[in-house]
Amino acid sequence: MRSNKPLRTGEQQPREDSSRKKIPREDWTQETGAATALVIGLLVFGLLAALSVAMWAVSAADQARAKTAADLAALAAADAHRGVISAGNPCALAATIAAKHESELTTCTLLVGEGATVRIVTKAHRSGWFKGWPLPAMQAESYAGPPTIEEAE
């Protein structure tokens, strides 16, 4: 409902919108701290996101370290098993190589048959900031044996 009173210069016709509540100006100064809670929530979310990215990066590095240790230990053990290098026990050599790469040799299997193949499984425990955290160790498996030579026709 609009009144039929004439408007003064610079005066606007008041709107009547029943869906909006009219808040008195003095109530706007009554801050309840909603922005503070929002900022704290965003900071906590950001910290959790950064922590999860850091954990993923350390996990990827630990997995790469375990795989590198398994590959190198398998190659050295296969060479020792075939007699290419005289290092004694192939599994002891594999354990030494894995230890130099901050990994632990969990399985060393010498497969007999066609060529001297070796199966190595290593485990790399957490490193960096997450060392000592109750997170599972990264495990990697690798096989190595004599090179295959194909005859040219």
Those residues whose C-beta lies under 8 Å from the C-beta of residue 130, and which sit 6 or more positions away, are: 54, 55, 58
More confident residue, 7 or 51: 51
pLDDT value at residue 114: 66
Query: What secondary structure letter does DSSP report for 138?
Result: E
- Compute the half-sphere exposure of residue 10: CA atoms within 13 Å on the CB side of its CA: 0
Those residues whose C-beta lies under 8 Å from the C-beta of residue 27, and which sit 6 or more positions away, are: none
More confident residue, 9 or 59: 59
* Span 101-135, pLDDT tens digits: 888 999 998 887 767 788 889 988 877 766 767 77
More confident residue, 130 or 95: 95
Length of the chain: 153
Sign of CA dihedral 47, 52, 57, 59: positive
* Span 52-72, pLDDT tens digits: 898 888 888 889 999 999 999
* Span 15-25, pLDDT tens digits: 665 566 665 55
Amino acid at 67: K
pLDDT value at residue 43: 97
Those residues whose C-beta lies under 8 Å from the C-beta of residue 137, and which sit 6 or more positions away, are: 62, 66, 104, 123, 124, 125, 126
111 strand-pairing partners: 117
pTM score, whole prediction: 0.65
